Chains A and B, each alone.
Chain A
């Protein structure tokens, strides 16, 4: 469903991403791994429309999306999380999930002012969906808290829930396990698999936690210094000499 062809991104003199290609099929978890500064987040930023890539193509369901505005890409069903959690921290938890469902605000301005039944029904539906996902990620009791006051692990889960209420087809997670304890990481592992199995969402995952990556990925792409290093099934990647060298070199 997603195909990245020879993607390049140059920042001044720095070629942060150099000829990276990859693809994601329906119902698949694909990981991007690589040492710090390899260019993984930059690939995400290109795919989600935050950067206009300096070279290459990104096709989503056959349609070129590189350089499109980010909110349009998001509305097509490609939704992302951020390496550094970005919540609306002074809004409550449930409001964070409501905002994510506010794409078509112009249509219901008058209806909202008049508080028509159809408007109320829509609002109720948004609330129900928010409640459902809060329950799903175990934050229902905290629904009326300010999002900024949540513990770090809870903020990460809220960010994923906030993506899910938009009903994405492809979810891009940037280091979702960073800063989580082993317990939380295990829960995250189960959540991601369930998103794929029960909600039919494909996932692109950037992650440094190798056990998590090897555990849940269908395929893995390795990037090193902006260049593609290897790609394949987890077993193959684990045995790949180049990959081992790149990681040992870093350590």
Chain B
């Protein structure tokens, strides 16, 4: 066993050495005007060698190690439990969601300003991930350019406010609808593609939108972005210290409160929470509607679904459009929260993070996706001192997940329609 792995382990160790030594083992140093390649100190070299040795040992005993790990998973008493009764599960799920929402409602009044601000960002990611979950998890379409629709929503608000002075509440539905329209138009030509091809084309579309925004300097301001995007108002009341727009009142004056900047943050948080709950409820409903069942049917057996008269394009397009709609929502809120947007906020990495949330949470599972969104956004903030290693930790977490729980944190269990009249 060990002998058989020896060659392989040696090979892996060599690869590690070949890759890491040139990258980590040298430093580029300025000496005067020229660049020079210098050996780094001995400690780093020792580190590389240690890593090479670790890879060698791991590969040598890999079957044994992985076997032990698999057994550790088997020790988990919950792993092999029979599936829960559907009605019970539904009640539990509904209860859990209600508690999460209630906690989320009370919490901002006790937390700090920074925490509430971060929580708003988490909620934006929750909306994004729930939306992408429709496309990837439910309809089975790998979309790597989802951030494009997020950008459409954000820029809709940014541009409308800059040129027409449109307020948040008008821009919110417009942004979502325009993003949905983009989803519809872009989806039309690409949805006949399958799997990998679809992934590549959507990736391309995502980049195209970002690059267009970046280069349309005369309209979008290019890399400089758009600033001065207004905050939401509450029935014409503004949350700033001074009223910016004529005809508006100011929140703290109306209610005779001392001015506090945290009011604005909490208000935005609550709006985002309401929209996140709206997203959750709508998608939960969609899953149990004919559209939702068609997504699943097409994912399970496309040929059979088509033979029954389901149009592949219509079904996939509906998922794509609905997903884009919610991304537009999230984009509008994001623009309002930041007050400033630029193409930099909509790079491919964002798509990747949202996709990672969906995969980590368990494709199709809503509670899983919400938990993963919280984890993926908050953990890097908590571990600030490790921020350099953020991507590394992220990657490691993904690999671990694929080994231990390829189905995600809380894999989806569909809610089945029950036929109750069993005479």
**What is the interface of chain A, defined by CB distance below 8 A to chain B?**
48, 50, 69-71, 74-75, 79-80, 82, 86-92, 94-95, 98-103, 105-106, 108-109, 112-113, 115, 127, 130-131, 134, 140-141, 143-144, 162-163, 166
Partner of B294, one of A86, A99, A130: A99
Partner of B300, one of A75, A89, A163: A89
Shortest CB-to-CB span from B127 to chain A, Å, is: 17
Given A105-B314, A127-B419, does the pair A48, B307 have CB atoms closer than 8 Å? Answer: yes
Shortest CB-to-CB span from B420 to chain A, Å, is: 9
Pairwise interchain contact B419-A91, C-beta atoms closer than 8 A: no
Pairwise interchain contact A102-B416, C-beta atoms closer than 8 A: no
Stretch at the interface among B28-36, B42-50, B283-291, B327-335: B283-291
Pairwise interchain contact A88-B297, C-beta atoms closer than 8 A: yes
Residue numbers in B under 8 Å from A115 (CB-CB): 285
What's the Cα separation between A28 and B303 when bound, in Å?
Answer: 27
Residue numbers in B under 8 Å from A79 (CB-CB): 307-309
What's the Cα separation between A106 and B317 when bound, in Å?
Answer: 10
Pairwise interchain contact B310-A102, C-beta atoms closer than 8 A: yes
What's the Cα separation between A5 and B287 when bound, in Å?
Answer: 44
Given A88-B301, A144-B418, does the pair A166, B290 have CB atoms closer than 8 Å? Answer: no
Q: Mark B265-287, 1 if CB is under 8 A from A, else 0.
A: 00000000000000000100110
What's the Cα separation between A38 and B272 when bound, in Å?
Answer: 63
What's the Cα separation between A249 and B304 when bound, in Å?
Answer: 35
Shortest CB-to-CB span from A51 to chain B, Å, is: 12
- The count of A-to-B residue pairs whose CB atoms sit within 8 angstroms is 123
Pairwise interchain contact A95-B293, C-beta atoms closer than 8 A: yes
Which residue of chain B is the closest to A135 with respect to CB atoms? Answer: B423
Residue numbers in B under 8 Å from A162 (CB-CB): 308
Given A98-B417, A105-B290, does the pair A143, B304 have CB atoms closer than 8 Å? Answer: no
Pairwise interchain contact A74-B422, C-beta atoms closer than 8 A: no
What's the Cα separation between A95 and B304 when bound, in Å?
Answer: 14
Pairwise interchain contact A103-B416, C-beta atoms closer than 8 A: no
Which residue of chain B is the closest to A85 with respect to CB atoms? Answer: B304
What's the Cα separation between A92 and B300 when bound, in Å?
Answer: 12
Q: Mark B398-416, 1 if CB is under 8 A from A, else 0.
A: 0000000000000000101
Does B242 make an interface contact (CB < 8 A)? no
Residue numbers in A under 8 Å from B286 (CB-CB): 112-113
Pairwise interchain contact B417-A94, C-beta atoms closer than 8 A: yes
What's the Cα separation between A162 and B18 when bound, in Å?
Answer: 59
Does B312 make an interface contact (CB < 8 A)? yes
Residue numbers in A under 8 Å from B318 (CB-CB): 105-106, 109
Partner of B416, one of A50, A100, A144: A144
Pairwise interchain contact B305-A92, C-beta atoms closer than 8 A: no
Candidate in B291, B315, B419, B422 with the most chain A CB atoms within 10 angstroms:
B419
Does B306 make an interface contact (CB < 8 A)? yes
Given A71-B312, A103-B309, does the pair A87, B304 have CB atoms closer than 8 Å? Answer: yes
Residue numbers in A under 8 Å from B312 (CB-CB): 71
Residue numbers in B under 8 Å from A82 (CB-CB): 303-304, 307
What's the Cα separation between A134 and B314 when bound, in Å?
Answer: 28
Partner of B421, one of A71, A102, A131: A131
Residue numbers in B under 8 Å from A109 (CB-CB): 289, 291, 318
Candidate in B293, B309, B310 with the most chain A CB atoms within 10 angstroms:
B309
Pairwise interchain contact A166-B417, C-beta atoms closer than 8 A: no
Which residue of chain A is the closest to B302 with respect to CB atoms? Answer: A86
Does B39 make an interface contact (CB < 8 A)? no
What's the Cα separation between A130 and B417 when bound, in Å?
Answer: 12
Given A74-B309, A102-B294, A103-B310, does the pair A141, B422 have CB atoms closer than 8 Å? Answer: yes
8 example contacts (A-B, Cβ-Cβ < 8 A) are as follows A70-B307, A94-B417, A100-B308, A102-B291, A102-B297, A112-B285, A140-B419, A140-B423
